[in-house]
Copies of this chain bind each other. A is one copy, B any other.
Amino acid sequence: MPVDRDHVLRSAAALLTRKSTATMDEVARAAGISRATLHRHFAGRDALVRALESLGIAECEAALDAARVDEGPAADAVRRMVVAIEPAAALLAFLYTENQLFEGEEQNAGWTRIDDRISALFRRGQESGAFRIDLTPAWLTEALYGLLASGAWAVMEGRVARKDFTFMITELLLGGALRREES
């Protein structure tokens, strides 16, 4: 009978990713609980979003850990990273746009940590000679977020097959649209 906090968060994430303006009532119904109960666990909409942010950060850091982004060739590390992040992509897409709202406040330190780790990966790739140096690590990081968000939405709306998600993102991010010269 006690509410499954994790289940509530995941339902909320799924709903809010589709409809970021969903009501507390809709969120509650999506999780299969009453609005009163939702309120008992999350003081308000803000607290809910913060909890989702924490979840997103935790999943992202777990994904970076699981992908062992510090090890092996940088390109392979990027591929592992995208694969590991994929399950959290929709949540990240929601938080990515939601973050635009918190313009005044300082952003959660977790994002800074994640940005730094991803940037470090791209920098490592540059220093090893695998990645070009005229695209800054900061931009590559930003672009990764953008592609994850686009990919998540495209999958949600059926414009891209879910099974192609990681392939499309890693291939575009690493290789781009131009055909490689056959060597």
Q: Is B142 within 8 A of A150, CB to CB?
A: yes
Q: Chain B contacts of A108 at CB under 8 A?
A: none
Q: Say whether A83 faces chain B, with CB atoms less than 8 Å apart.
A: no
Number of copies: 2
Q: Say whether A43 faces chain B, with CB atoms less than 8 Å apart.
A: no
Q: Is B181 within 8 A of A132, CB to CB?
A: no
Q: Say whether A2 faces chain B, with CB atoms less than 8 Å apart.
A: no
- Given A103-B18, A146-B150, A172-B143, the answer on whether A160 and B178 have CB atoms closer than 8 Å is no
Q: Chain B contacts of A136 at CB under 8 A?
A: 160, 164, 168
A75 closest partner in B (C-beta)? B178
Contact among B18, B100, B147, B153 for A20, CB-based, below 8 A = B100
Q: Say whether A154 faces chain B, with CB atoms less than 8 Å apart.
A: yes
Interface size class on chain A is 35 or more
Q: Is A176 within 8 A of B175, CB to CB?
A: yes
Query: A149 to B159, alpha carbons, bound, how many Å?
Result: 18
Query: A78 to B4, alpha carbons, bound, how many Å?
Result: 48
Q: Is B132 within 8 A of A177, CB to CB?
A: yes
Query: A100 to B183, alpha carbons, bound, how many Å?
Result: 43
Q: Chain B contacts of A180 at CB under 8 A?
A: 132, 180-181
Considering only residues 141-168 of chain A, those with a C-beta below 8 Å from chain B are 142-143, 145-147, 149-151, 153-154, 159-160, 164, 167-168
Q: Chain B contacts of A135 at CB under 8 A?
A: 168, 171-172, 177
Q: Chain B contacts of A172 at CB under 8 A?
A: 135, 139-140, 143, 173, 176
Q: Say whether A174 faces chain B, with CB atoms less than 8 Å apart.
A: yes
Query: A21 to B138, alpha carbons, bound, how many Å?
Result: 27
Q: Is A131 within 8 A of B183, CB to CB?
A: no
Q: Say whether A72 faces chain B, with CB atoms less than 8 Å apart.
A: no
